[in-house]
Amino acid sequence: MYQVEASVAQYKTITTNNYLCPMNLENKDIDNQVNEPELASYALINGLGLINKALPDLRKICSRYHVERLDLFGSALKGPFSKKSDIDFLVKFTPVPLEDYFENFINFKISLEKLLGRKVDLIEKQTLKNSYLIESIENDHLKVYGK
């Protein structure tokens, strides 16, 4: 296994090819120009490889379920990430009628789990009470969808 040392601050959205990628890979075409050790370490250290693969469909799902913003955090971003790891997202929805909120939330979660093939934890910022968790998410997150 290859190991990469990278802080979350080194990640950004690559808008030219719609990949989320460590900055050291930003000028490379992920499919053709990244050598195998780099690609292997990139995929193993976090869940970005999985997210990148699903990104077009993930964005369609976000649009369908009234997501204003979706941020990745936790082990899928920082590692260690394994086949058993879940994927943690911080989600902000556009306003929906209260009577539709629960169904929208659950259907969004189920759609993400089907797309990504693993358990998904969805957290809304306003529901967070633990100051340590709030600070941790604020310091280490990556926007996947929205503004």
Q: Which class is 8-146 in CATH?
A: alpha beta
DSSP per residue, 3-39? -----GGGEEEETTTTEEEEGGGTTS-TTTTS-HHHH
Q: Comparing 31 with 108, which gets the higher pLDDT?
A: 108
By the 8 A CB rule, do 89 and 112 touch? Answer: yes
Of these ranges, 35-49, 54-68, 133-147, the one predicted with the greatest mean pLDDT is: 54-68
Residue 34's identity, in one-letter code, is V
Give the Cα separation of 46 and 76 in Å (integer).
5
Average pLDDT (126-132) is 86
Coil/strand/helix, residue 98: helix
Coil/strand/helix, residue 23: helix
Q: Is the pLDDT of residue 26 over 60?
A: no
Per-residue burial over 68-93, b if 16 or more Cβ lie within 10 Å, else e, is ebbbbbbebbbbebeeebbbbbbbeb
Give the domain ranges of the chain.
8-146
